[in-house]
Amino acid sequence: MNFKALLKSNNKLIFKFCLLIGCFLIMTLFIFNNESFYKILKVHARKKPLAEDVSLSDIAKATAGFTGADLENLLNEAALLAARGGQRFISMADLHEAMMKVIAGPEKKSRVVTPHAKRLTAYHEAGHAVVIHELETQDPVHQITIIPRGGAGGTPSGG
């Protein structure tokens, strides 16, 4: 479970832990709901050509924990992907790929991964998916990849 998910689901536990180990945690928490994320996405998408299959409300649900800047970056990355693909409109597939890029970094296409390492990564990521599935506080997993991104060998993602 990542820190954002833990903070979102059980912030009292984190504060108790920090007090226990003697650290001081100073932060401002902005609690946004899906409607807030939808409104932010709508602002950043107003000058971007969106395909008919795009659902900003679905993207808003999948981007809990993103900042306004992350949401803007998501739409900009999706626009770049659409342009590179020769498309006139940003599709939902472009937004999903951009979301993975914002969350985990770009694909490491040049990294050579052995079949054994792929298999181990697949088991590892499946374990994440099972745990996330069993936690009532987490959104369902919609995608698991063993394609290396950033420092990760693979990632599960909700959406």
Matching residue, tokens 């919609």: 142
107 has catalytic annotation: no
Other C-beta atoms lying within 10 Å of the C-beta of residue 158: 16
Q: Which of 72, 77, 125, 134 is catalytic?
A: 125
Question: How many residues are present in the chain?
Answer: 159
Distance CA 128, CA 134 (A): 10
CB neighbour list of residue 125: distance below 8 Å, 6 or more residues apart: 144, 145, 146, 154, 155, 156
Q: Are 107 and 149 in contact (CB under 8 A)?
A: yes
| Of the candidates 142, 134, 20, the residue with the CA atom closest to the CA atom of residue 92 | 142
| Sign of the alpha-carbon torsion through 137, 143, 148, 150 | negative
Residues serving a catalytic function are: 125
